[in-house]
Amino acid sequence: MMLPCAAFFLGFLALSACERAEAPVSEPQKPVRLFIEGTQPVPEDETRTEWTGSTLNWSESDVIALTYSLDGKWEADLFASDPLAESAASASFSVSATAAGAGTYDFRTVYPEEAVSEYAGGRAVVEIPATQTPQRIGSHLSFDPAADLLWGRSTSTYGSFPDGTAVPIVWKRLVAHACITLKNLPATLTSETIEQITLRAQEGAALAGQWSLSVDGGSLTPLETTETLILSPDNLTLSGSNLEFWAAMMPGTVSALTVSVTTDKAIYTRSISDLSLNFLQNRRNTLGVNMASATRSEFAYTLVSEAPADWSGDYLLGFGENFFAGKADGGNYGAFTTLTVTDGAVPYSAGVDYNLKIARRESGNYSLLYGTQYLGYAVSGNAISFSEKPDNWTQYEWTITLEGTVVKIVNAASTSRRIQWNPASNALRFSTYTGSQKDPSLYRLNREAGEGGDPVTPPDPPVPPTPPTPSDQPGYLGCFEVPAIPTLTGQSAKGTNSDKGDTWYGYYTTNENRRVATHTFAHPDKSNKQTRNYTVMFDGSTRAPVWTAHAMHSDMWPDHNVGRNDSWKSDPAFSGLTQQNGVSGYSRGHLVASNYRQSTTLQNKQTFYLTNQAPQWQTSFNDGVWNQLEQAVAGHTPSGRDTLYVVIGVLYEGTTKYVDDVPIPSHFYKCLMECWFDSTGAMTNAAGVAYIFTNEAHKGMKYSEGATTIDAIEERAGFDFFPQVPEAFQTAAESSTTALW
């Protein structure tokens, strides 16, 4: 059965992270257009990328990889297509390649392109991801397109290689699809939040991992495999007591299977030891798992009897069955509640409201946070001090030592004071004493009870040897705002997030905690060309962006008033680096503001990646001087050939404050560089200014009071911003504090 024609375009692909979509293209050869006709490998309706209830279709933002051999000699490169502009039964892809002359061509294609981590000599390293996110298309559930590995082939002989050549491609699906229904789930699940679903086959089973793919014959050789698949709960919905989801996996026999459903309170586990189920290639394999007999392992606070290397975590503080319950009404001491302790443990559901967070400070001491209040000793007598924003952090730091099952929590500033329980009948309380009362115990929250545990983070793909180069486009088409990054070591990944219409380009640095990515979107005003949105350097150790860089131009990024998405999500470009979704007492402060990106809904969604926010004081800062500056920038966006380039970042200076074990930036800054260009694209002038503010309330302050030079910020941040601005303009612009408007 023939599939509808799908068009491919071979030319020089202008998808550099630092170019606008309309950038002129320097083509090494005349572009060649290939019309690709695909045939299904078997008479099934399952050779596409989304389940729509009756058929499978290509979806928006799909990207394929293409290579070929000419007269038996394989091309040295693997070429990625442009993202597909829209969902369709037939599709048109643009592919960047270098075409040769007459001869016999063996074309080979791989879908999705992001599954390929390296290619050489006719072999590609491909991956079925161990962590997958099932998709929902309308009312229908589907599998994660990033896990749907397909291989295509075609052989043709040409006397020449003209425009309009028809090339028949036969697609072959290399994975099996598992449509799994968990039946008769316990009623307790309806009051809990599902965090992940884990499938674990028998030891040695190869469900996911990396394989070496022969692009000639389509055969796979295992490189590094795992018997575990982890499914995100995104797009999944309980239907009564049942839960259905899809997974893509390597075909094979599963003789034993453990299914674990992890919620915010417990893990539900069902093991099947005599399954003997064949998951067949290119088939929709169905499996029902009766979870009525699943065991429920509730997370619990368990008594600490062995000192950890790091005390950071979630705890209950108690003496006997009396547990710390925050600040007492009408007094500077700790209230208490009574909880039942069984076999040295308190159930999660009983203790969740009395959670005490302990976080390691830069000094090596610890902070204790209950709700939004830090515990300290900053007054006289036996009182505990409570503060959301301590002025003297030393008074709010503690050392913790363990003797048996008893802890000594000693104040760092007043070492004669430690937190104890007063057992006197007329003074039952937790407070700071000199050792005359009872030392308490700590009960640590165990989130790894039963099967499942924390998600498995797949390894980073190998680093190609050639590092990326900056844009070579002239004049205003250059990406002038992206800082110089001498530590770049090569491209880490190119990926697609269809939920946000994002094809992103990620890069490694020599610091394993830092990576850089450029997010792009299909621009409806520019014939759906993939267009850069912004670039971000993210640091997994601070769990915050180091800086973001973007351009503002009312013609290129018009304000269509699409509104705020307000749905914060993890950034897929930084998989493997820890991202945080807000901390107690602080707002998620945008770097690239939502109102800076109002061209399309998908473009705006990308500003709600967790890598585009850092903990920011809200009152009289995020909603005050910082917001005023954001509005001023948005209101002075240039048009024509002039462009405003913006770098926004955070600093950590002085003693770093920690909240929820997350470091809080000491400063937020914004650097602005406005550039003017003539009709040829040559820069004619530039002006710059920077603004910096401490991360605290600035009541009544005007943003102009935070003005400084870009040079000053560069020195403190350790980066060279706007490196592509010609020195003739850059020196004066970066040393100025004069407002741009």
End-to-end alpha carbon distance in the chain: 64
Does a structural domain hold residue 573? Answer: yes
> Do 534 and 599 touch, CB atoms closer than 8 A?
no
Separation CA 658–CA 671 (nearest Å): 26
The answer to whether position 528 is within a domain reads: yes
Distance, in Å, from the CA atom of 508 to the CA atom of 517, rounded to the nearest integer, reads: 9
Of residues 595, 674, 667, the one with CA closest to residue 630: 595
Same-domain check for residues 288 and 210: yes
Per-position b or e across 560-582, b if 16+ CB within 10 A of its CB: eebeebeeebbbbbbbebebbee
CA distance 491 to 16: 12
Q: What is the pLDDT of residue 437?
A: 96
Percentage above 70 pLDDT, the chain: 84
> Does any domain span residue 465?
no
pLDDT in tens, 555-599: 888 888 888 888 888 898 888 788 998 899 999 999 999 999 998
- The total of other beta-carbon atoms located within 10 Å of residue 145's CB is 24
What mean pLDDT comes out for the span 15-38?
41
Q: Does a structural domain hold residue 312?
A: yes
* Confidence check: pLDDT of 302 > 60: yes
367 shares its domain with 279: no
**Assigned domain for 469 exists:** no
The 10s digit of each residue's pLDDT in 182-213 is 999 999 888 888 989 999 999 999 999 999 99
pLDDT of residue 621: 95
Enter the pTM of the model.
0.51
Strand segments (E) across 320-411: 322-327, 334-338, 345-347, 356-360, 366-370, 373-376, 385-387, 398-403, 406-411
27 within a domain of the structure (yes/no): yes
Share of the chain above pLDDT 90, in %: 48
426: phi then psi, degrees, rounded to nearest 5: -95, 5
CA distance 421 to 499: 52
pLDDT recorded at residue 490: 65
Residue 63 lies in a domain: yes
Residue 480: predicted pLDDT = 83
Q: Are strands 32-39 and 165-173 parallel, antiparallel or unpaired?
A: parallel
Query: At 686, is the secondary structure helix, strand, or coil?
Result: strand
170 and 52, same structural domain? yes
Residue 424 sits in a domain of what CATH number? 2.80.10.50
Check if the beta carbon of residue 550 is closer than 8 Å to that of residue 534: yes
Rounded Cα distance between 270 and 12, Å, is 52
Q: In 3-state terms, the chain is what percent helix, strand and coil (to 5)?
A: 10, 45, 45
Q: Same domain for 289 and 315?
A: no
- Domain termination residue (choose one: 446, 467, 500): 446
Can you tell me the distance from the alpha carbon of 57 to that of 49, in angstroms, rounded to the nearest whole number? 6
Longest dimension (CA), the chain: 100
DSSP label of 105: E
**What b/e sequence results for 4-15 when a residue is b if at least 16 CB atoms lie within 10 Å of its CB, and e otherwise?**
eebebbbbebbb
> Do 524 and 656 fall into the same domain?
yes
pLDDT at residue 199, rounded to an integer:
95
- Quote the domain boundaries for residue 382: 301-446
700-736 confidence digits (pLDDT tens): 999 999 999 999 999 999 999 998 888 889 999 999 9
Average pLDDT score over residue span 597-612: 92
Name the amino acid, one letter, at 209. G
β 356-360/252-254 pair status: unpaired
Q: Identify the H or E element spanning 349.
A: helix 348-351
For 28, the token pair is 């090494």
- Residue 514 burial class via C-beta count within 10 angstroms: exposed 0-12, middle 13-18, buried 19 and up: buried
Residue 225 CA to residue 222 CA, distance in Å, equals 7
Answer with the one of 254, 279, 295 that is the final residue of a domain.
295
Question: Mean pLDDT throughout 351-364?
Answer: 90
| Cα dist from 473 to 292, 348, 724, whole Å | 62, 58, 11
Among 277, 280, 223, which residue's Cα sits nearest to residue 250? 280
Burial of 415 (0-12, 13-18, 19+ CB in 10 A): exposed
In this model, does residue 7 exceed pLDDT 60? no
352-383 in b/e form (b: 16+ CB < 10 A) is bebbbbbbebeeebbbbbbeebbbbbbeeebe
Into how many domains does the chain fold? 3
Q: What is the dihedral of CA 590, 594, 596, 598, to 10 degrees?
A: 160
Helix (H, G, I), strand (E, B) or coil at 152: strand
Clarify whether residues 404 and 511 are in a common domain: no
pLDDT for 82 equals 74
More confident residue, 172 or 206: 206
Mean pLDDT of all residues in 675-681: 82
Write down the pLDDT at residue 492.
Answer: 58
Residue 427 has pLDDT above 80, yes or no: yes
CA–CA dist 378, 370 (Å, integer): 17
Averaged over 31-41, what is the pLDDT?
50
pLDDT of residue 101: 72
What type of residue sits at position 106? D
Q: What is the pLDDT of residue 510?
A: 84
- Which of 275, 295, 315 is the endpoint of a domain? 295
DSSP code, position 621:
I
In this structure, what are the phi and psi dihedrals at residue 429, rounded to the nearest 5 degrees? Answer: -170, 165
Please tell me whether residues 431 and 534 are part of one structural domain.
no
371 and 416 within one domain:
yes
Note the pLDDT tens digit of each residue in 212-237.
Answer: 999 998 999 999 999 999 998 888 88
Distance CA 657, CA 584 (A): 13
Q: What is the mean pLDDT of residues 110-117?
A: 90
Instruction: Compute CA 727 distance to the chain's CA centroid, rounded to the nearest angstrom.
Output: 36
Distance CA 491, CA 484 (A): 16
Q: Are residues 442 and 508 in the same domain?
A: no
Mean pLDDT of the chain: 82
Burial of residue 202 (CB within 10 Å: 0-12, 13-18, 19+) is middle
- 411 and 493 housed in the same domain: no
Quote the pLDDT of residue 484: 85
CATH code (residue 657): 3.40.570.10
Range in 70-74, 309-313, 606-610 with the lowest mean pLDDT: 70-74
The yes-or-no verdict on residue 4 having pLDDT over 80 is no
Examine the pLDDT at 281 and tell me if it is beyond 90. Answer: no
Asked whether the beta carbons of 670 and 548 are under 8 A apart, the reply is: no
Q: Tally the residues of the chain.
A: 741
Q: Please tell me the distance from the alpha carbon of residue 400 to that of residue 409, in angstroms, as a whole number.
A: 5
The pair phi, psi for residue 496, each rounded to 5°, is -130, 135
The stretch 627-642 carries a mean pLDDT of 90
C-alpha separations of 726 from 111, 675, 682, 691 in Å: 42, 11, 10, 22
Asked whether the beta carbons of 524 and 534 are under 8 A apart, the reply is: no
DSSP secondary structure of 265-309: SEEEEEEES---EEE-TTSEEEEEEE-TT-EEEE-EEEE--S--S
Q: Are residues 28 and 120 in the same domain?
A: yes
Residue 529 inside a domain? The answer is yes
φ, ψ at 201 (rounded to 5°): -85, -175
pLDDT at 163: 59
Regarding whether 720 and 690 lie in a shared domain, the answer is: yes
Q: How far apart (Å, rounded) are the C-alpha atoms in residues 328 and 692?
A: 39
Digit-coded pLDDT (tens) for 480-511: 888 988 787 766 567 787 777 888 888 888 88
Asked if omega into 112 is within 30° of 0 (cis), the reply is yes
pLDDT computed for residue 532 by the predictor: 87
My answer on whether omega of the bond before 233 falls inside 30° of 0, hence cis, is no
